[in-house]
Structure 1
Amino acid sequence: MASKIPESDFDEQFLTCPVCMLHFRDPRVLPCLHTFCMECLQEWATKQQPLECPTCRTQVSLPDQGVDGLRTNFYVNNLLDFAAAKKGSEPGVSCQVCEGNVEGQKSWCADCGMLLCQSCIAVHRKVPATKHHQMVTQEAINTMGGMEGLERKRHCHKHKNQELVFYCESCNVLVCTACTVVDHRPGKDHNPVEITTVAQKRTEKLRQFLKQIDPRIKEIQDSINEVEKTMSNLIPSKEAATDQAKVYFRQLVDILQKREKEILSHIEEQCRADGKALQTKKEEIEFEFAGLTSAQTFCQQAVEHGSDVHILEVGNQVQTRVETLLAKQLELESDWSEFQFVENTTVAGFQEKSKDFGGVKINVDISKCKLVVKPAVKGFECVAMLTTINKDGRPYITNSKAVDVTANMKDTFGRNVQTKLQMKSMGEWEISYTPKITGNHRLEVKVNSQRVARSPFTVKVQGREKPVLTIGRKGSGVGELDGPVGVAVDKDGNIVVVDQGNKRVQIFDAETGGSLCWFPVDGGRPYGVDVDSKGRIFVTSYGSNCGVRCYSKKGELFNTFKPDCMKQPRGVAVLRDGRMVVADSKQQSCLLLQPDGSLIREIGKGQLQFPQFMAVDATHDAMYVTDRSEQNIFVFGLEENKEFGMGRQGHFDRQFQSSPEGVALDAAGNIIVGEHDGHVRVFGPDWSYLQSVTKADGNYVSGLALTPDGKYLLVSRFHGDCIEVYRYM
């Protein structure tokens, strides 16, 4: 314990709950090490599920007791006591028990956390329950720099008068002397050790962690400083780029305006020249017109009003004039053609070309950009993920406008396949498409008009009846399987497999199929598996030492459940509230168990003969159970032993072609059935046949599981020693 309390710890903010903004009341520590009042957390938990830390938004998995089960922050409690004691030692502060006796010496009861006057102290020491409480005088409080004499003693919740002085290493709990005699007696199941001994070891461990934290903090602080330095250059960089862009586009505008003036001047000059030529043409035609109309008038007057003598005198002259005028070759039509403005570059074309008029220079390295093509199946929306990488080999963080990404796909016949681009996160792009035929497709991806490395990519599109991924092969090595039975998906989306022949559980990456880890399992022959919301793995085993065992992802055994009624457990399903349903082939029923493994009731007794696997529809309180002997699927209610219905063996709709083994439910309530002959089929909620996922191939299907998004179906092939992954939705 430190001899002196850091002054920073007495800061009001340190002692104030971030939720209610008051001094902590019963401070509780979340797994993320942030502290809040218990009441505040309880209220917060009622408004939010799952619970998130109000400060850092880390998702919190509460213990079984809820907020009450969280650890108390005793250091904060002690600080509050120390602050209260210091304040109480000041002149003019009354006794907190009798609320009088302002004058006179007072003492602080470290056990009660209260300031008492001399009279109350005398009474306090006479009461059996408080006579051994530690009292600290006012003078000692004024002189002390630490909390050694003020820390409250912790008492056993079961033996109220007993102080917690031992720590049971087997149970990870603090216990009193009485507990070491009754509930935590030293032996194979309990190992109580003095607190001081354990605390010294833990303190040394924490010191080691502190040594590791310091350089990491320095590294992070250096990174923050570097980011801040970069941020300080952000605005000047933006202003410089903005000024350059403005100058550039002003120059482009000037060029366009200059060109506009030139074109308008050309139009004006052409108009003047054409107008002058047309005027001259018009005058020539008008002159001829005047001469002809004059001759017409003279000739008409002679004909209508002239005497014979007049006709004879002027006739020849008129004839000669008219013949001359009529014989004269005159271009009556105008040789002018209408001029108009011609768009050598269309507006749409210019708009497209304008994309090349400048840009934002970014730090993307085209040669390092990565494209991951997810399995492609005909008729389904498929995706490829592009990650833009900078010159340092890290994902390039930017907005969608700073990077121009294009994707073009052609099918096996060279026809275009429509693609859609969407930026999922900074630096990551999703390219989605729906192929209509199988075969090799080609996907060309460009970033800022440049092809990324290895583009165009070959994308193999296959039919839905073939697995997009096959995991494992016969063997006992890492990644190998020997008789896989149960299969499940953990909260991280990884595939959890019961490797029966090797008596172990293997966890595989759902994207690559690579083995992430494995651990051995106890008991006889492991069979079923399920994963709860906390990531704990539940494995059944039948034969010798049968039971249901709960493991961590790393293989740490948390608990073993084996009620007296359990004989040969097969499949297992863990409900949201922690209860379990276990199919027991020897008991010929399904066992509904409490989270502690105690029996609630048997389901299907007298109807089931050899139950194998089950799937639970919690929304409709229904459980689907495959029965090998009856070659059927039974449907029961969870809360009462009510049978909903069943299938029948046969060769028509609502019937199975061989014994049903694995079973799963999709989000629409459809029933997916894996059969002994290798057939995997899908039935509607009314048992109408919908489709086949795989055809019968004689390869026994055991477990089935859907990925959390419902897009992929996992099929455990017992004799094929593998897990097959099929596109489902």
Structure 2
Amino acid sequence: MAAAPERKVLEEISEDFLYCTICQEKFKSPKILPCLHTFCEQCLVTLVEKTGSLNCPECRQQYQLPVGGVPAIKGNFFMSNLIEIFTQRQQSIQGTENKCEGCQQNTATHRCVECRYYLCNTCFTTHRNLPFTRKHQVMTIGEYETAKSTSPIPLQAVEYCNIHTQNEVKFYCETCQVPVCTDCTTVKHRIPEHVHRDLKDAADEYLTELKAMVDKLKVKEQEAEKNKTLAKQMQTDLTEQCSREERKVRMKAEEIIKKIKREEQRLIDELKNNYKMKIKNAAADIDEMELKHGNIKSAASYIETLMQHGNAAQLLSTKDDVGTRIKQLIEIDTVAKDDNDDFIFRPNDEFCEHGILGTLESDVCMSKCTVENIPKQLWKGDSADLLITPEIPLENKLSQNNQ
């Protein structure tokens, strides 16, 4: 399930997955937000100090800062494990000698698979004699390197309890929805008030549910991508149509003498003003669609990676956040807005008589418009500014109400 061979992890996950989008460097003390976006702890600290609030730089969602500040946000141990694997590979390629992570002085001769520490001979002896590490699986460096290339070394062989740090996590408390150790089941998660399950059984069941939710999320991603493309095409069509109508105006103007230049410019300005807001709205729709699509795709990518390469405890530690985030994203409205109210240039063949090159006409039916600011009396030759408001079709009203 989540315990994939290190070699397979290196093949399937891009190293770019391990970089913080704020500092553009590999994660340091990675923290995961409820939206499943991960950032360096210090990057989030700087962000909160600068803005005074916790807003995700990726999806712009705002969160309440937990008691204890940024350090109290959930750590992404899954990401930390991936970084360790890539770091080991880089050291292996460069031929860097592993230092003992116990004394920080001697050259490492052994590797504890469960603690994921490199140890020298002295620290290995101490490690083997300590009661709570006596049963750990320890290999020589040579044995470990051979095992990595021939057998499935899990990302983390054993997950330990956050409270009883010497105890392996073996159960899942369904009442509290957290992984727990044996001591936890007799202290804070006692029966019958709390219901316990085997950790792997609970993870397997949740994985089946998560796969179904991710399938729905992928459908939503495809829908968002399709509508983003339609929104871009809509913007292109509006821009092209504006250009076509502008060319018509210019062609008509070229047939007449210089006295029509002022009228020509008036029509062009009016045409551009009519389309300016439409194109701006189309651009805003594209930005919104790109954001929605990015959020959906990012969440789906992270969850799939977690499903394939995270262990049971890592998988269940973000169960609530993952479920909530997927539901949020599936409910996102990804339908692009459609604005078919186009302005078309209609040339006037009798310019010399009226001094007007033509008019800009809209698809809106004048019989269904409300006219305001009508003067009570006008003398011949006078002009007046009228406020014309088109009536919204019934189907559009219903659509707006539903939204």
Q: Same fold (TM over 0.5)?
A: yes
Deviation, 1:207, is 0.6
Distance in 2 (CA, whole Å) between partners of 1:183 and 1:89 is 44
Partner residue of 2:380? none
2:163 is the counterpart of 1:158: yes
Deviation, 1:225, is 3.6
CA contact (8 A) 1:26 1:77 kept: yes
Distance in 1 (CA, whole Å) between partners of 2:336 and 2:231 is 17
Structure 2 unaligned regions, length at least 5: 278-334, 344-359, 377-385, 395-400
Secondary structure of the equivalent of 1:71?
coil
- The alpha-carbon distance between structure 1 residues 120 and 164, as it changes in their structure 2 partners (threshold 3 A), is same
- TM-score relative to the length of structure 1: 0.35
2:190 is the counterpart of 1:248: no
Q: Identity percentage over the alignment?
A: 25
- Correspondence 1:266-665 to 2 at 5 A: 359=271, 394=337, 396=339, 446-447=388-389
Measured against aligned partners, the alpha-carbon deviations of 1:259-313 in whole angstroms (never above 9, x if no partner) come to xxxxxxxxxxxxxxxxxxxxxxxxxxxxxxxxxxxxxxxxxxxxxxxxxxxxxxx
CA contact (8 A) 2:372 2:388 kept: no
Partner residue of 2:80? 77
2:210 is the counterpart of 1:206: yes
CA contact (8 A) 1:179 1:185 kept: yes
Deviation, 1:453, is 5.8
Matching residue's letter, 1:201: E
Aligned to 2:149, which of 131, 143, 156? 143
Aligned to 1:186, which of 183, 186, 191? 191
CA contact (8 A) 1:167 1:194 kept: yes
CA contact (8 A) 2:53 2:65 kept: no
Matching residue's letter, 1:181: T
Structure 1 unaligned regions, length at least 5: 258-346, 365-391, 416-443, 455-511, 515-729
Secondary structure of the equivalent of 1:19?
coil
Deviates more, 1:132-141 or 1:194-203: 132-141
Aligned to 2:224, which of 214, 220, 223? 220
- The alpha-carbon distance between structure 1 residues 249 and 26, as it changes in their structure 2 partners (threshold 3 A), is same
Partner residue of 2:311? none
CA contact (8 A) 1:169 1:190 kept: yes
CA contact (8 A) 1:245 1:358 kept: no
- The alpha-carbon distance between structure 1 residues 22 and 128, as it changes in their structure 2 partners (threshold 3 A), is farther
Partner residue of 2:33? 30
Partner residue of 1:169? 174
Distance in 1 (CA, whole Å) between partners of 2:78 and 2:152 is 12
Measured against aligned partners, the alpha-carbon deviations of 1:703-723 in whole angstroms (never above 9, x if no partner) come to xxxxxxxxxxxxxxxxxxxxx
- The alpha-carbon distance between structure 1 residues 84 and 123, as it changes in their structure 2 partners (threshold 3 A), is farther
CA contact (8 A) 1:184 1:190 kept: yes
Deviates more, 1:197-206 or 1:34-43: 34-43
Deviation, 1:209, is 0.9
- The alpha-carbon distance between structure 1 residues 23 and 166, as it changes in their structure 2 partners (threshold 3 A), is same
Higher alpha-carbon Rg: 1
Distance in 1 (CA, whole Å) between partners of 2:97 and 2:181 is 36
Measured against aligned partners, the alpha-carbon deviations of 1:25-79 in whole angstroms (never above 9, x if no partner) come to 2212111110012232233223324321012211123444543443332221221
Deviation, 1:169, is 1.5
Distance in 2 (CA, whole Å) between partners of 1:231 and 1:21 is 32
Distance in 1 (CA, whole Å) between partners of 2:50 and 2:131 is 44
Distance in 2 (CA, whole Å) between partners of 1:403 and 1:194 is 71
Deviation, 1:246, is 2.3
Distance in 1 (CA, whole Å) between partners of 2:187 and 2:269 is 84
Distance in 1 (CA, whole Å) between partners of 2:120 and 2:135 is 17
Aligned to 1:122, which of 106, 120, 125? 125
Deviation, 1:205, is 0.9
- The alpha-carbon distance between structure 1 residues 451 and 38, as it changes in their structure 2 partners (threshold 3 A), is closer
Distance in 2 (CA, whole Å) between partners of 1:183 and 1:355 is 77
Distance in 1 (CA, whole Å) between partners of 2:246 and 2:98 is 68
CA contact (8 A) 2:30 2:80 kept: yes
Deviation, 1:125, is 1.5
- Correspondence 1:4-15 to 2 at 5 A: 4-5=8-9, 7=11, 9-11=13-15, 13-15=16-18
Matching residue's letter, 1:168: C
Distance in 2 (CA, whole Å) between partners of 1:59 and 1:197 is 34
Secondary structure of the equivalent of 1:198?
helix
Distance in 1 (CA, whole Å) between partners of 2:195 and 2:205 is 15
Distance in 1 (CA, whole Å) between partners of 2:209 and 2:257 is 69
2:59 is the counterpart of 1:56: yes
Aligned to 1:45, which of 38, 45, 48? 48
CA contact (8 A) 2:242 2:271 kept: no
Partner residue of 1:508? none
CA contact (8 A) 2:249 2:267 kept: no
Deviation, 1:215, is 2.1
Distance in 1 (CA, whole Å) between partners of 2:244 and 2:162 is 68
Secondary structure of the equivalent of 2:18?
coil
CA contact (8 A) 1:111 1:133 kept: yes
Distance in 2 (CA, whole Å) between partners of 1:114 and 1:393 is 52
Aligned to 1:86, which of 80, 85, 89? 89
- The alpha-carbon distance between structure 1 residues 36 and 248, as it changes in their structure 2 partners (threshold 3 A), is same
Deviation, 1:191, is 1.5
Distance in 2 (CA, whole Å) between partners of 1:398 and 1:43 is 47
> Would you tell me which structure has more strand in proportion to its own residues?
1
Matching residue's letter, 2:145: E
Distance in 2 (CA, whole Å) between partners of 1:185 and 1:253 is 94
Partner residue of 2:99? 95
Aligned to 2:200, which of 187, 193, 196? 196
The number of residues matched between the two structures is 299
Distance in 1 (CA, whole Å) between partners of 2:25 and 2:342 is 41
- The alpha-carbon distance between structure 1 residues 398 and 88, as it changes in their structure 2 partners (threshold 3 A), is farther
Cα-Cα RMSD: 4.5
Distance in 1 (CA, whole Å) between partners of 2:341 and 2:59 is 25
Deviation, 1:200, is 1.2
CA contact (8 A) 1:156 1:176 kept: yes
CA contact (8 A) 1:94 1:101 kept: no
CA contact (8 A) 2:227 2:336 kept: no
2:23 is the counterpart of 1:20: yes
Distance in 1 (CA, whole Å) between partners of 2:50 and 2:269 is 53
Matching residue's letter, 1:130: T
Secondary structure of the equivalent of 1:115?
strand
